[in-house]
Chains A and B, each alone.
Chain A
């Protein structure tokens, strides 16, 4: 069964500190992994996806198939990074499969 695990409900860091939001997944095929972000009073939006291999707002995430992980990292946190972050998975080898979300991690960056 598809499953996404985000072990931390809340991650609090100081501005300028490194950030790592953890995500582990369970899927038998070839998954597509995503990070979505929800800023306060805004709708959920895509932050990045593993297939694009890009850095968005300084965030990167590498798919590690051996460890079934897709951790989100940023070397220097900014206050505007404070938000709820969701890791999500879809069946990349099957078009039209549903997107499954983890329970989310709230990132709080303080000065």
Chain B
């Protein structure tokens, strides 16, 4: 299993540009989420999904869109990039339901985004 993969690893954008951060998992996890990691702020939840066709907002959703058309993929779209969106973005996935193996989040390697 590849686990959780993210592309690209690094990206530089100009203010106003749009782009999509890709996230995929091959573990058949129902739950997927996006976080941004900023110094002194920890990990903040942007959007999450509990299954194909279902998404919800997290703590900091403004400026980002998501969709979940398949179980495997959960792309994050920046509509019009701003310098405040300079961050490291992590995708994560997990099983749902009961039992000790559920809810353990598996993280991708991250995408480091710089907006000039």
Interface size class of A (residues with CB under 8 A): 20 to 34
Does B110 interact with chain A (Cβ within 8 Å)? yes
Which residues 30-80 of A have a CB within 8 angstroms of B?
32, 34, 36, 43-46, 49, 51-52
Q: How many residues of B contact A (CB 8 A)?
A: 29
Are the CB atoms of B45 and A98 closer together than 8 Å? yes
B26 is an interface residue with CB less than 8 A from chain A: no
Q: B48 an interface residue at 8 Å Cβ cutoff?
A: yes
Question: What would 14 A/B residue contacts be, using CB atoms closer than 8 Å?
Answer: A43-B90, A43-B107, A43-B108, A44-B90, A44-B105, A49-B100, A52-B100, A95-B96, A95-B97, A98-B56, A100-B59, A103-B41, A103-B42, A104-B42
The residues of B that contact A9 with a CB separation of less than 8 Å are 40
Q: Contact between B109 and A43 (Cβ–Cβ < 8 Å)? A: yes
- Interface residues in A1-35 by Cβ distance below 8 A to B read 6, 9, 32, 34
CB distance from A32 to the nearest CB of B (A): 6
Q: CB-nearest residue of chain A relative to B3?
A: A43
Q: Is the CB of B105 within 8 A of A43?
A: no
Question: Cβ of A98 and Cβ of B48 under 8 Å apart?
Answer: yes
* Given the contacts A95-B97, A98-B45, A98-B48, A43 and B110 also touching, CB distance less than 8 Å: yes
Cβ-closest chain A residue relative to B104: A46
Q: Is A46 a contact of B105 with CB atoms below 8 Å?
A: yes
A104 to B42: give the CA distance in the assembly, Å. Answer: 6
Question: Taking CB as reference atom, which chain A residue is nearest B31?
Answer: A96
* Chain A residues positioned under 8 Å from B103 (CB to CB): 32, 34, 49, 90, 92, 99
The reply to whether the CB of B25 lies closer than 8 angstroms to some CB of chain A is no
For the complex, give the distance between the alpha carbons of A46 and B103 in Å: 10
CB proximity of B108 to chain A, nearest CB, Å: 7
Residue numbers in A under 8 Å from B104 (CB-CB): 34, 46, 49
Question: CB distance A86 to B42 under 8 Å?
Answer: yes
